[in-house]
Structure 1
Amino acid sequence: MQKPRIVLKIGSSNLCNGEAIDDGQINAVANLISEIKTRFDVILVSSGAVASGYTRVQIDKSTLQNKQALASIGQPLLMESYRKAFDRFNIPTAQILLAGHDFDSRKSTAFARSTIDALLANNALPIINENDAIATSEIIFGDNDRLSAHAAYYFGAKLLAILSDIDGYFDKNPHTDSTAKLLPQVHTIPKDALSQSHTPHSNFATGGIVTKLMAADFLLQRHCMMFLSHGRKLEVLKNFLLHNTQDSGTLFCPADSQGLQELYAFKQKA
């Protein structure tokens, strides 16, 4: 029986420990995915190529050319870290590099989905990253948030789960306002929230809450869902997906959907 499909995106802020890749975190993510895969087909969208490259060559990260060079160095290193982590669970890992323009072509999108379908059918884990070595605006603004939303929609996932450096979406900026409250469920994204400046908190992150809201807005308009939670609190996502409970995090879902119940109803139908 075919399992429902989800996309899991993890950002640089959750893969980097200071100036180096955090192998302990990669192992923790592998543990989580190995459990999730018992009930869902998982596509992983992973940042971290630039950070991986910087562990070998310490050059100025502020220029686009140097970021592209670091991504070229770091992408195979990042994939090797994932390979080692998932070998423990006998889960093959597969690299897929995409850019925004790949979704502009129906043919390219169809080819990519066919590849992903074949990988999932054989218990492999597709690991998607932006093709940073030749990317332009994507490497500066996206941090894979919007790419992961496109992957979720075009590759047949019901849910995008983003692991970030915050607990979810707040009514105010939690970094500057102690009265900020976490919003457990959001149905619409205000237009002014989508036009704010990007505010990444990591040396290697290029996104921020705005790119995550853009991803959520893209999916909401297509009657899909997104769950945002903290990448260092993996039990939140585990409980959400496997135990039908929401301890923290924010679920972005259409107003006429049933949220968690709809995800589980989709699971039962698959």
Structure 2
Amino acid sequence: MNSTLQNDSSVSSNRVENAFKQLVRFGWEQALSCLFPVVIFTSLALTQIIPLPLLPRYDWLLIICLVMQWWMVRSGLETRDELKVITLFHVIGLALEIFKVHMGSWSYPEEGYFKVFGVPLYSGFMYASVASYLCQAWRRLKVQLIKWPPFWLVVPLAAAIYLNFFTHHYWIDVRWWLAGLVMIVFWQAWVTYEVNGFRYRMPLALAFVLIGFFIWIAENIATFFGAWEYPNQTDAWSLVHLGKVSSWLLLVIVSFLIVATLKRAKGNEMAIFNSRKKSGNIEQ
């Protein structure tokens, strides 16, 4: 009897130890995937504490982001295809920033030479860093999608979510309707990922919520270091309203849908290429 209890205790202890090791490994892979965002946050903190010469702070942040992006591609941490995705996010994010600043949703009060309609160009890299994280995590964790919805559903949904960030200033805000549509469209969708040779899975909707929540935490850190400023933070910094999680959730969904669509398209191209190569239609 005692021997049986000891064996059960040993098995339980091993399971806990293995689970902890897997959690640590998962955290490490996530940390490596967040390299670009970490550089941005570190730069925000350092440039606020240590004034840099010659150029305003926003311009130094742009230079740091450009150098970091060049190094990511040069070192092989990001591929040229991933750079195209990240550049797309930079443009999408910058367009949203220009509109939101114009509408008074937030502001960039500091001076800068490289500002467009009151928006410093480095701000686009904050959106690009989300795309960088998704691309890195996708590759490191060998992400696969189960029961991914058809293209004709995914693209209009992503477009509607993005457009609502603009149109809700002039029309009704349909974010919750769109969030409901996301739940319906992705109800049966799962994301699987690999950690140290073992595969795990979670509902895709849950993955959206988790990423959106952590970006909200990152937003609080960014505003604390003066990345941008909400109207209620003009006199003193305060916590970003929890309702912003819904905005980041929807933006994450747009990001994920674009990355997933492009990844799947690239995967289909590779599958066709390999099929033709095997059949001898492509020269070796």
- The TM-score normalised by the length of structure 1 is 0.25
The answer to which structure has the higher helix fraction is 2
The answer to which structure has the higher strand fraction is 1
Q: Which has the larger radius of gyration?
A: 2
